[in-house]
Structure 1
């Protein structure tokens, strides 16, 4: 009798080992499949990028830069979009002149502004990210010019006067400088991240 029990025990042990071996093989196959899927899908997962500061908001992936808006203003962004769709009240040559002048200002003084702010706040900005910042600011110039045109009219500047022109350019230049400074003060992306 002992021989038969011993055979049954060995047979049961062999059966359990086969079951475990099959489970191990199935798990190995599953691991290999998952590793292949992971290797094929090596795209980075970028979460939502949100910056908490007053004047500047850069959403690089969406390609927008909001200058001159506080977080409370962003709640009413739809209202701003409606206002910005209105045709400008000044002749197109003036708008083109202001845009060209401000783009030139940004080209000539922008790199030194960023360099100085970078040194002040110990945040290096690489050239490619600097170019992205300038591109985003340039896209915002027409709407900011329109905004300050309305402000100049509220302050009763004559549309054809030098004061009208100077008011708009100085306000936009100040806004650009302030936005870049606020951005550098924040813990925003530097291009090296």
Structure 2
């Protein structure tokens, strides 16, 4: 697509200005893992904890995004690539807006996740791998997706008929097959504090120590 006539318009309110108002830094926390690994559950609970501390947040959830932004995409390899590309670009806009963004996507390909990482300054993209044995994921299969995939009713299903590439160097690994939701959430919160995304100024009502 020709871009000769498209020019970036300078902003009058910077990300730093918005961060100062929010009293926390903005970043993208990218939860990846198999279907049923607990990505959405942990992401939404982390958001709840952040909201209690007065943080400005938003969760981009895999299923929800496919109801609108990515409604035109299927689950082929090419469509999965485009799905993650779009989410990465939206996440970048939200981070520029000063928000703490959490995404919950299977995002099975390392290359796609690495490409999203390049959109952000160092420290602004935090990859969290939700590690969970596929047997446990299948036990949690409230949507019946694994059953359909096993019966051949669903094609290109990650972990069954399509690959999942485990992150090689994520910022955090959560063993969601063994650790409780509370423990997983506390580990994410601690990481955000250790990386100075959250500061003492971010502490609000209901914050308290995030240790187990």
Pair in the same fold by TM > 0.5: no
Choose between structure 1 and 2: higher helix proportion.
Answer: 1
Name the structure, 1 or 2, with higher relative contact order (CA <8 Å, separation 6+): 2
TM-score, with length taken from structure 2: 0.27
| Higher fraction of strand | 2
Q: TM-score, normalised by structure 1?
A: 0.29
Indicate the structure (1 or 2) with the bigger Cα radius of gyration. Answer: 1
